[in-house]
Homo-oligomer: A and B are copies of this chain.
Amino acid sequence: MSTPKTIKIGLCGFGTVGQGVWQHLERARTDLEARLGVKLELARAAVRDLKRARDVAIPADKITGDALSIANDPSLAIVCELIGGTTLAREVTLAALKRGAIVVSANKALLCDHGAELFETARKHGGQLLFEASVAGGIPIIKALREGLVANRFTQIYGILNGTCNYILTRMVQEGAPYATILADAKRLGYAEADESLDVDGWDTAHKASVLAFLAHGVWIKTDKMIVEGIAKITQADLKHAAALGYGIKLLAVITRDFAANQLFVRVHPTLIPEERVLASVNGVFNGVSVTGDVVGTTTYIGRGAGRDATASAVISDIVDAAAILATGKAVPSIPGSSSYASSQPPSLAPLEKITGRYYVRTLVKDEPGVLAQIATVMANHKVSIASVTQPEVAEEGTASLILTTHLSNEHAIRETLADLARLPSVVEAPLLLRIGDFAE
């Protein structure tokens, strides 16, 4: 037998995930090399601060402060972009793709904002971009969509994609404590960032939804074309009323495609899920994704959605796929962007009238006669039919909390309804809207 080829790997970014990749890849290397028939060499890593002490020690001559030098190093066939952000990460990714390298990325924000440019660059220069770690951490959901479920068209994908939000909502349910208290504690424990907005306002979930929508439907939907709502306004009252109605509340990404009309819609919002659904019992930092394909039906995937080791597991699976490609000179067959995804008739965005569902509306009103009639009239004007009304508790003096659920309506009608409700003199606070997710299983 001939001497096995050596495939050199460079890591741009050597924080938590980068160190996890290095450590676990070193440990699994002998096994993986035997399986692949090639040698794998962790050749270089770029760090932001050369002086900082790290948990995973690597030889000084392998470290650089210059990530672009790794992106541009022709000896490195695989470049892992683990920097985060969309500035240097974009430069590094483009540079590596331009020289035909395979880039492994965990960066959903970069993919969402610049995916079209990145995949076009890859196509033009013979590079490839793998991104298993960008969505749902260690769950191999990218591979499932791209390869395992390749016979399917995806009518619906929905999932819990942000571990921080799920952790906060889970603790709110378990402890009965308000959002602000749990958020503060989550920050203290390192489960939420100092600036929590990316997570709790739904943007991180939206980035991931964009990646899943691209995989399933071949188009990049940016966050300004989605409905994106976060969890910050959810109260104990909402959780309790939802539970009384038989639902849990989860922040979901929902990607729906109408193949007959060739329309797609992507949205991110807190959703009431029937308690008996599997995703309703996905708690804490876990992620879960339900995928409905026209052949296979619904399959569901659950696991840790973030963290050093789960993310490293996904990055390493991409590195192994990349090494297999390099060992034989073959391209991954079903990477979107390079073939049919881009060429098939792209779907258009579904209008809001087509995004149907049932709704949960909580509002604070003046406690006086005729208020419910006014509200019911507004809803009737927009043909939003009320399914249930609860006036559950004594709010502040002179006000009352009202919880309404609706029959099937649509995003356009409910949006108009909410705007009109907010204008009613008897409505004290802008109403909170939650969606009821009666998804097919």
A333 located at the interface, meaning its Cβ lies under 8 Å from any Cβ of chain B in the complex = yes
Whether B302 lies near A278 (C-beta < 8 A) is yes
Cα–Cα, bound, A132→B144 (Å): 12
Whether B143 lies near A339 (C-beta < 8 A) is no
A83 located at the interface, meaning its Cβ lies under 8 Å from any Cβ of chain B in the complex = no
Chain A, range 292-346, C-beta contacts under 8 Å to B: 293, 295-304, 309-310, 312-314, 316-317, 320-321, 323-324, 327-334, 339-341, 343-344
A25 located at the interface, meaning its Cβ lies under 8 Å from any Cβ of chain B in the complex = yes
Cα–Cα, bound, A153→B321 (Å): 17
Whether B333 lies near A324 (C-beta < 8 A) is yes
Residues of chain B within 8 A (CB-CB) of A333 are 35-37, 320-321, 323-324, 327
Chain A to chain B: the 9 pairs with minimum beta-carbon distance, closest first: A140-B148, A34-B340, A299-B303, A324-B333, A138-B296, A151-B316, A328-B330, A296-B313, A300-B302
A139 located at the interface, meaning its Cβ lies under 8 Å from any Cβ of chain B in the complex = yes
Whether B32 lies near A150 (C-beta < 8 A) is yes
Q: Given A281-B278, A302-B278, are A151 and B317 neighbors across the interface (CB < 8 Å)?
A: yes
Identify the closest chain B residue to A35 (Cβ): B340
Whether A150 lies near B299 (C-beta < 8 A) is no
Whether B34 lies near A148 (C-beta < 8 A) is no
Cα–Cα, bound, A144→B144 (Å): 8
B-contact 0/1 string along A166-188, CB 8 Å cutoff: 00000000000000000000000
What are 10 A-B interface contacts by the 8 Å CB criterion? A28-B153, A32-B340, A35-B334, A138-B296, A138-B297, A296-B314, A299-B304, A300-B303, A327-B330, A329-B330
Residues of chain B within 8 A (CB-CB) of A132 are 148
A226 located at the interface, meaning its Cβ lies under 8 Å from any Cβ of chain B in the complex = no
A55 located at the interface, meaning its Cβ lies under 8 Å from any Cβ of chain B in the complex = no
Whether B298 lies near A151 (C-beta < 8 A) is no
Among A278, A298, A344, the one with the most B-chain Cβ atoms within 10 Å of its Cβ is A278
Whether A28 lies near B151 (C-beta < 8 A) is yes
Whether A339 lies near B300 (C-beta < 8 A) is no
Identify the closest chain B residue to A343 (Cβ): B34
Chain A interface residue bracket vs B: 35 or more
Cα–Cα, bound, A30→B111 (Å): 27
A263 to chain B, nearest CB (A): 18
Residues of chain B within 8 A (CB-CB) of A37 are 333, 339
Whether B25 lies near A313 (C-beta < 8 A) is no
Identify the closest chain B residue to A141 (Cβ): B148
A416 located at the interface, meaning its Cβ lies under 8 Å from any Cβ of chain B in the complex = no
Residues of chain B within 8 A (CB-CB) of A317 are 147-151
A428 located at the interface, meaning its Cβ lies under 8 Å from any Cβ of chain B in the complex = no
A31 located at the interface, meaning its Cβ lies under 8 Å from any Cβ of chain B in the complex = yes
Whether B139 lies near A320 (C-beta < 8 A) is no
A393 located at the interface, meaning its Cβ lies under 8 Å from any Cβ of chain B in the complex = no
Among A299, A309, A313, A323, the one with the most B-chain Cβ atoms within 10 Å of its Cβ is A299
Whether B313 lies near A149 (C-beta < 8 A) is yes
B-contact 0/1 string along A125-156, CB 8 Å cutoff: 00000001000011110011001111111000
Identify the closest chain B residue to A20 (Cβ): B295
Residues of chain B within 8 A (CB-CB) of A31 are 340, 344
Chain A, range 11-38, C-beta contacts under 8 Å to B: 24-25, 28, 31-32, 34-37
Q: A36-B339, A138-B293, A150-B317 are in contact. List 17 more A-B contacts (CB 8 A).
A: A31-B340, A34-B344, A35-B333, A36-B333, A138-B296, A138-B299, A144-B144, A147-B320, A148-B317, A278-B302, A295-B316, A297-B310, A299-B301, A302-B302, A328-B329, A328-B330, A329-B330
A49 located at the interface, meaning its Cβ lies under 8 Å from any Cβ of chain B in the complex = no
A143 interface neighbour in B144, B282, B302, B313, Cβ under 8 Å? B144
Identify the closest chain B residue to A136 (Cβ): B299
A368 located at the interface, meaning its Cβ lies under 8 Å from any Cβ of chain B in the complex = no
A61 located at the interface, meaning its Cβ lies under 8 Å from any Cβ of chain B in the complex = no
A276 located at the interface, meaning its Cβ lies under 8 Å from any Cβ of chain B in the complex = yes
